[in-house]
Amino acid sequence: MILSGKASVAGVIGWPVGHSKSPKVHGYWLDKYNIDGTYIPLPVSPDDFEQVVLSLKAAGFKGANVTVPHKEKALALADVATERARQIGASNTLIFQEDGSILADNTDGYGFYENLRQAALDWKAETGPAVVLGAGGAARAILVALAQAGVPEIRLANRTRARAEKLAEELDAPITVVDWEKRETALADCTLLTNTTTLGMSGQALLEIDIFDMPKTAVVTDIVYTPLLTNLLEKAHAHGCPIVDGLGMLLHQARPGFHAWFGTDPEVDKDLRAFVLEG
Ligand code: ATR
């Protein structure tokens, strides 16, 4: 580790923040690329968020990742925002620019799409309908990314239908809302199925879905990565579908921030995956 007086400093702001894998990911890259810099966890309560961000900027930080519950506040506080952050309505990456302004970006959808692009080489966005399960914050970023990638139709099913309808109304995306109970009928001719709900996560209920009628060519992804092989991915693999696990999304979403703060576009590879999975 190199840490001189000129080191570039960034971190992740959350409340709590102890569960975050970001310090591990950025620490791995800082070592790998021999960069004079550091990245630290910053537990900050909602009441202190704005003051802390402004203080970090004044203290010479290059920027910060932002996680729950601060993502909306982060966008509101920034001077400028990327188009994708504005569309998603939240920011997970703040960049303190040389002119003193704060730029808000949102790289969640980017991470999802990059992971898919690299792990499912045969999948092409424009070739058919995508099915998305869930309508929370993660779904929002993924829907924006899929629409921007050119997916012609997105079938969105959520337990609370009103939340899915709200997303369909708010986002500039070709969304058709499907009843949660009818989620299986949406699979018939889809080319992608994505779970953005918490179902299947360790300690949560399993995702119940019969994928028998889904084409075997459809790519199946899950944003849950604990466990890495969720019950949905297991089922999809047994059905013959290509599967993409959720760890890659987490790793790829970290890349734009690292690039902005430390000047290198880092690589997501097997060694990084193994390192993050260690604990
Ligand atoms: P995030 O912002 O990380 O996406 P969230 O906003 O809490 O998290 O969203 C969690 C998603 O999982 C929601 O789509 C939620 O459905 P509701 O909108 O109906 O709450 C979904 N979810 C959680 N538990 C579920 C369950 N037991 N059955 C079906 N969907 C569930």
CATH number, domain containing residue 273: 3.40.50.10860
Cα torsion 179, 185, 188, 193 to 10°: value is 40
Residue 142 amino acid letter = I
Statement to judge: residues 77 and 139 lie in one domain: no
pLDDT of residue 272: 97
The pTM of this model reads 0.95
pLDDT of residue 92 exceeding 80: yes
For residue 273 and ligand 1, the question of a CB distance below 6 A is answered with no
Residue 272: closest CA among 25, 31, 59, 53? 25
Closest atom of ligand 1 to CA, residue 197: 12
Question: Would 184 be classed as within a structural domain?
Answer: yes
Residues known to be catalytic: 71
Number of residues written out for the chain? 279
Instruction: Tell whether 113 and 99 lie within a shared domain.
Output: no
Structural domain range at position 168:
109-249
Same domain, 180 and 265: no
Residue nearest to atom 9 of ligand 1 (CA): 136
What residues have CB less than 8 Å from 102, skipping those under 6 apart? 53, 57, 77, 78, 79, 80, 94, 95, 96
Name the residue with the closest Cα to ligand 1, atom 8: 136
pLDDT at residue 197, as a whole number: 98
Same-domain pairing of 265 and 240: no
pLDDT above 90: residue 177: yes
pLDDT at 101: 98
> 220-262: per-residue pLDDT in tens?
999 999 999 999 999 999 999 999 999 999 999 999 999 999 9
Instruction: Supply the pLDDT for residue 1.
Output: 83
Instruction: Give domain status of residue 3, yes or no.
Output: no
Task: Round to whole Å and give the CA distance between 1 and 27.
Answer: 9
- Total of domains in the chain: 2
218 and 273 in a single domain? The answer is no
Whether residue 176 is found in the same domain as residue 215 = yes
In this structure, the answer to whether residues 24 and 141 fall within a common structural domain is: no
Tens digit of each residue's pLDDT (9 = 90 or more) over 120-151:
999 999 999 999 999 999 999 999 999 999 99
CA-nearest of 96, 66, 37 to 253 is 66
Q: Would you place residue 263 in the very low, low, confident or very high pLDDT band (cuts 50, 70, 90)?
A: very high
Cβ-based burial of 272 (10 A; exposed 0-12, middle 13-18, buried ≥19):
buried
Residues 78 and 46 in one domain: yes
**Residue 75 CB–ligand 1 contact under 6 Å:** no
pLDDT recorded at residue 279:
73
The answer to whether the CB of 16 falls within 8 A of the CB of 271 is no
What's the chain's Rg over C-alpha atoms?
19
197 CA to centre of ligand 1 in angstroms? 5
What 3-state class would DSSP assign to 54? helix
Domain match, 225 and 271 both: no
Mean per-residue pLDDT, 71-95: 97
In this structure, are 225 and 140 located in the same domain?
Answer: yes
